Amino acid sequence: MSTAKPRVGPLATPRSTPAPRLDVDALIDDPATGIIVCCGSGGVGKTTTSAALALRAAERGRKVVVLTIDPARRLAQSMGIGQLDNVPRPVPGAGGGRGSLHAMMLDMKRTFDEVVESQASPEKAKQILENPFYIALSSSFAGTQEYMAMEKLGQLHRDAVERARHDPEGEGAFDLIVVDTPPSRSALDFLDAPERLSSFLDGRFIRLLLTPARGPAKLMSAGFSVITNTLSKVLGGQFLRDMQTFVAALDTVFGGFRQRAQQTYALLQARGTAFLVVAAPEPDALREAAYFVERLSGDQMPLAGLIVNRASPSPQGSGLSAEGALAAAERLRRDDPESVTAGLLRLHADRARLVAREAQLRDRFAAAHPGVATAVVPALAGDVHDLDGLRRIGALLAGEASA
């Protein structure tokens, strides 16, 4: 008979005590916390969580900038800003005392342009920026958004450090950056994107396009002609020429791309960065959250905790169990088939069962990942559309019962 212990998966039967509580206020009040990264699968409330954390931190005295990658522009609406762009904009009515709040939304192409402009001479940058292949790459290439989110984070951090050194009280001297990561089906794509983009630009096909400029022409021209003629038929001659021109121009600045990506990756691993995994109280979302936790641990990224959003609030009269409510409803229904109270009791039972099921899912997650601090945010009756709504979310994140 085997004595091996069964593997405990993310939704296995719980065998441990409930997770420790995530102390959100301690996290945002700690001056050593300089970057908070909210990550998770799509549709779990990362954008709202990021905005609420940023607002709460600002109103507790931090100088905060929140960066969103949400194309739905909900962050701008909830903060009362007409439109966000690639530059931090002050949020009216936010902050308190020494605190302040700025918000911005990633402009993928503009950020890519800034990288090129910072790494190349004006003539070379102009050649790259006007190239049709570059325009297509910077606007829609898979992974570009995630790469540029990393790039913009690095830019913000470098600017904040520089401004704090020369003018700590000035506009834009941020001491906390809150990042809302891109919505993606693949967990933590934004961590992989720099390597994927680097691999593409440094791949065999791209190196082949550079062969005429680099290799011995007499040795390579015949074979290369056969290849390029074939590619021209498949891709079109003009497309191939645009690609070759782009790659030749970009080759001189490529080292800067890789170096900056490595610097930002190291920044994410450094003390002062905190990752928050955001999930919904559903099996699939918590499985994704389990993957995030394991991947962050494997990459030595500093995990601060788990936020479970939109949890079902316990029904009033929660001392009455689902079974007790159903039994009472059945007795009332026998006496009065149209009893309103019986209907309410059945609703109470349904809610109680849902709350118990969600609690069981959280306990199973805690059993598989002991020590991961957790904050549970109950679902609100309506959408968050202003600063007061974000303040309420922030209070719930901090565990304030009055919220």
Residues 15, 295, 370: CA angle, nearest 5 degrees: 20
Return the higher-pLDDT residue of 72 and 369: 369
60 confidence band (pLDDT: 50, 70, 90):
very high
How many beta carbons lie within 10 A of that of residue 224, not counting itself? 16
Return the higher-pLDDT residue of 171 and 21: 21
What backbone torsions phi and psi does residue 15 show, to the nearest 5 degrees?
-130, 15
How many beta carbons lie within 10 A of that of residue 307, not counting itself? 25
Q: What is the pLDDT of residue 263?
A: 83
Alpha carbons 17 and 364: distance in angstroms, whole number:
10
What backbone torsions phi and psi does residue 207 show, to the nearest 5 degrees?
-60, -35
Cα–chain center distance at 59: 23
Among 78, 30, 69, 29, CA closest to 51: 78
- The segment with the largest mean pLDDT, out of 128-137, 182-191, 298-307, is 298-307
**Quick check: helix, strand or coil at residue 288?**
helix
Return the higher-pLDDT residue of 56 and 250: 56
Per residue in 328-357, pLDDT (tens digit) is 667 767 777 777 776 677 777 777 788 888
Q: What percent of the chain has pLDDT above 70? A: 68
Per residue in 257-294, pLDDT (tens digit) is 667 777 888 899 999 999 999 999 999 999 989 989 99
Q: What is the pLDDT of residue 53?
A: 96
- The segment with the largest mean pLDDT, out of 14-18, 90-94, 294-298, 301-305, is 301-305
Domain ranges of the chain: 24-202+257-316+369-397, 211-250
Q: What is the pLDDT of residue 253?
A: 61
327 confidence band (pLDDT: 50, 70, 90):
low
Q: Is the pLDDT of residue 224 over 50?
A: no
Return the higher-pLDDT residue of 234 and 112: 112
Return the higher-pLDDT residue of 239 and 99: 99
Q: Is the pLDDT of residue 303 over 80?
A: yes
220 confidence band (pLDDT: 50, 70, 90):
very low
Q: What is the CA radius of gyration of the chain?
A: 26
Q: What is the pLDDT of residue 14?
A: 44
Average per-residue pLDDT in the chain? Answer: 77
Q: Which residues does 397 contact at the CB level (< 8 Å), separation at least 6?
A: 24, 49, 52, 53, 56, 307, 375, 377
Alpha carbons 362 and 358: distance in angstroms, whole number:
6
Per residue in 154-209, pLDDT (tens digit) is 888 888 888 877 776 766 679 999 998 876 555 567 777 666 666 665 655 555 55
- Of 200-209, 290-299, 370-379, which range is least confident? 200-209
Q: What is the pLDDT of residue 221?
A: 47
Q: Is the pLDDT of residue 377 over 80?
A: yes
Half-sphere exposure of residue 243: CA atoms within 13 angstroms, side-chain side: 18
CATH fold group of domain 24-202+257-316+369-397: Rossmann fold (3.40.50)
**Would the pTM count as exceeding 0.95?**
no
Cα–chain center distance at 229: 43
Q: What is the pLDDT of residue 6?
A: 38
How many beta carbons lie within 10 A of that of residue 93, not counting itself? 12
β-pairing, 176-180 with 303-311?
unpaired
- Of 142-151, 273-282, 351-360, 389-398, which range is least confident? 142-151
State how far the alpha carbon of 298 is from the alpha carbons of 269, 295, 301, 326, 368, in Å. 11, 5, 8, 47, 16
